[in-house]
Structure 1
Amino acid sequence: MSKTDVIGSAAPQGLRGWLSTDTPHSRFQARMGRLWFGWLTFRRNRLAMLGLSIVLLLCAVALFAPLLAPYNPVQGVLNDRLQAGSAAHWFGTDNMGRDILSRLVYGARYTLLVVVLVAVTAAPIGLLVGTVAGYFGGWVDTVLMRVTDIFLAFPKLILALAFVAALGPGLENAVLAIALTSWPPYARLARAETLTVRTADYIAAARLQGLSHPRLIVGHIMPMCTSSLIVRVTLDMAGIILTAAGLGFLGLGAQPPLPEWGAMISEGRQFLLNQWWVATVPGLAIFIVSLGFNLLGDGLRDVLDPRAGGNG
């Protein structure tokens, strides 16, 4: 699919014409044009737009939680405990009389916090390990990849449980444990990308110009791995959310009375038969947000991975 097919042969003048021109006059204009073309391709995918809408809604709810939550998320009224949905409490109340909607709204903050912290921690570690291993090869590659294989040999949740058990329960330790178990797939992906570009002509030319190994890795190889890494991180967000919810469910993540979604499911499991909404509503929130990140990742893969090809 060419740029003309997406933008149209008669793009209007002004900013749209400046972005869609085939003869950019600067690197900035060319870069903005690529972003514009990528956005148009992404926008054609309705499921990807649905995923983006869900993620943006999660961000908005987390940002404006004090304005959106009708009640205090950690204080309840015992006389209102285990009430079904009503005009006063849309999603009902839990066993402590706390409004479930308010706890969901504030819980979005903890979910987003875990996702962001894990992404900005695990992805750079995996990118660094993978590019160094792929670039140098030899014993460096062997040592780094064997360490990566050791982490990959254990299920992610089991390994995260081991780290949290050693570090102690708490949201910060849960984030650290998830990050320590999430970087190996990124390392293997970055290594595979590095192996395909390390022998490229532009890398050889940069080496002949006297660029050091760190500058070659950071300035020329890492940028080539970034697009694939962004797609993989986005697709992994659902797994990160589920792992964090699993730790919270087991009492090793955010501690009461924090309104973390996994902990909310754990608190409501004993009322599942009669007061089903206590555990079902946060479970549905986890499902919807995980689905949103998966749809967003699929759309980004169509745009950023040139080998995947857009499916519209």
Structure 2
Amino acid sequence: MQSSSDHATQNPELSMNAAPQNWKSWLLTDTPASRKQAALGLAYRRWQRFASNPLSVFGFVILAVLIIIAAIGPLIAPHDPLQQVLSDRLMPPGSASHWFGTDQLGRDILSRLIYGSRLTLSIAMLVVVIVVPVGLMIGTTAGFFGGWVDNVLMRVTDVALAFPKIVLALAFAAALGPGVINAVIAISITAWPAYARLSRAETLRLVEADFIHVARLQGASKLRILLRYIVPLCSSSVIVRATLDMAGIILTVAGLGFLGLGAQPPAPEWGFMVASGRNVLLDSWWVATIPGFAILLVSLAFNLLGDGLRDVFDPRHGG
């Protein structure tokens, strides 16, 4: 009888595929031997579920490319985004020196788009970094402690939700004055209530779970239960919501820039670029249309990525 080693030698494909198959079976086993194996297996299953959705992968790729472009912007931008060359004003797209054309002051639109991606993404990320922890802590605290704490925090949340977000953001931005920091503050003030509501609903579901009762019986303090169990388990839903909301945040940032309440000129912010091109839209469509298409593409990519993450972390699918 032929030994297994001889069989592997005569069948090189078997030996080449043995390692990947072993890794796959190790990750997908139903009886993990350690926490590390269980965590890696869960991450692998989630990646498989995410990769099975081509639209979500498309959104992920678009955002990954955008982040890379924003990170290395100064290295790949063909021109200085603030340089004005009046002799080259309103050049149409397609020329060798200006692929996306120029604006009314002769500035290269491609270079301004590249630098503008850094500014737009920075504002959106700052908003998320502020509102997610605030909304998460308010919602989990209200849902976990209940009683008068819940009533006070949720009434404040209801008041904030009673106003349309864009109107409230415009009001705060106008009161605080134009500028990037003020735009971040204005959008953050209007964005946190949705995360508080979501995390409170998740907390009300989790506090009745058996493992929470076991933790109480073992003597765990309320603060430990809240920070060790409730907050991490609510984080996935909040992160998915934040990914879906990024499109709306970017549109709000662009809207404030369009109205002159965001980044100030000559900063290459996409919303302001659209606003500056509206007066020449009929004759020089590319000045406003190209940055508008960039806003559309990034918003679509965030929505597609958010849909994929929602499917991955959906508890009904075992995520």
User: TM over 0.5: same fold?
Assistant: yes
Q: Which moved more, 1:95-104 or 1:13-22?
A: 13-22
User: Is residue 2:147 matched to residue 1:138?
Assistant: yes
Give the aligned partner of residue 41 of structure 2. Answer: 33
2: CA distance between counterparts of 1:201 and 1:292? 39
Residue 129 of structure 2: aligned partner: 120
Alpha-carbon offset, residue 14 of structure 1: 4.9
- Structure 2, unmatched stretches of 5+, are 1-17
What is the identity, as a one-letter code, of the residue corresponding to 1:65?
G
Equivalent AA in structure 2 for residue 63 of structure 1: A
- Asked if residue 177 in structure 1 is aligned to residue 171 in structure 2, the reply is no
Residue of structure 2 in register with 1:249 after alignment: 258
Partner of 1:57: 65
Counterpart of 1:24 in 2: which secondary structure?
coil
The 1-side partners of 2:232 and 2:199 are apart by 10
1:3 maps to none
Structure 1 residue 270 corresponds to structure 2 residue 279:
yes
**Structure 2: how far apart are the matches of 1:241 and 1:55?**
13
Q: Does the 8 Å contact 1:84/1:91 carry over to 2?
A: yes
Secondary structure (helix, strand or coil) at the match of 2:20 reads coil
CA RMSD, 1 decimal: 1.6
Deviation at 1:75, TM superposition (A): 1.1
Q: CA deviation at 1:111?
A: 1.5
1:111 aligned residue: 120
Unaligned runs of 5+ in 1: 1-9
Q: Tell me which amino acid in the other structure corresponds to 1:181.
A: T
For 1:219, which of 217, 220, 228 is the aligned residue? Answer: 228
Aligned pair partner of 1:293 in 302, 309, 314? 302
* 1:185-240 deviation line (CA, Å, top 9, x unaligned): 00000000011111212111212222222211111111111111111010000000
Q: Which amino acid aligns with 2:305?
A: L
Q: What one-letter code is carried by the residue in structure 2 that aligns with 1:79?
A: S
Counterparts in 2 of 1:179-218, with a 5 A limit?
A: 179-218=188-227
In structure 2, C-alpha distance between the alignment counterparts of 1:223 and 1:158, rounded to whole Å: 33
Deviates more, 1:213-222 or 1:186-195: 213-222
Separation in 2 of the partners of 1:309 and 1:79?
Answer: 61
> Which TM-score applies when normalising by structure 2?
0.91
CA change 1:308–1:153 in 2 (3 A) is: farther
Distance (whole Å) between structure 2 residues aligned to residue 262 and residue 115 of structure 1: 13
Bigger Rg over Cα = 2
CA drift at 1:308: 6.5
2 CA distance for matches of 1:297 and 1:235?
5
> How many percent of aligned residue pairs carry the same amino acid?
63
**C-alpha distance in structure 1 between counterparts of 2:128 and 2:314, whole Å:** 19
**Residue 166 (structure 1) shift:** 2.0
Instruction: Measure, in 2, the Cα distance between the counterparts of 1:307 and 1:143.
Output: 32
> For 1:256 and 1:217, how far apart are their aligned partners in 2?
45
Letter of the 1:49 counterpart: V
Question: In the comparison of the two structures, how many residue pairs are matched?
Answer: 301
* Cα shift at 1:59: 0.3
Q: Equivalent residue of 1:12, what SS?
A: helix
Kept in 2, the 8 Å contact 1:248–1:263? The answer is yes
Deviation per CA, 1:30-81: give whole Å up to 9, x if none. Answer: 1011001100110010000000011101101101101221000111201111
1: distance between equivalents of 2:297 and 2:307? Answer: 15
Select which of 80, 90, 103 maps to 2:88.
Answer: 80
Counterpart of 2:29? Answer: 21
Task: Supply the AA of the counterpart residue of 1:18.
Answer: W
Give the drift of 1:23. Answer: 2.6
The CA distance in 2 between the partners of 1:307 and 1:256, in whole Å, is 48
Counterpart CA distance in 1 for 2:316 and 2:112 is: 43
Does residue 70 of structure 1 match 2:78?
A: yes
Letter in 2 for 1:23: T
CA distance in 2, matches of 1:308, 1:204: 25
**Which digits, 9 at most, give the CA deviation of each residue in 1:62-102, with x for residues without a partner?**
01101221000111201111111122111110011100000
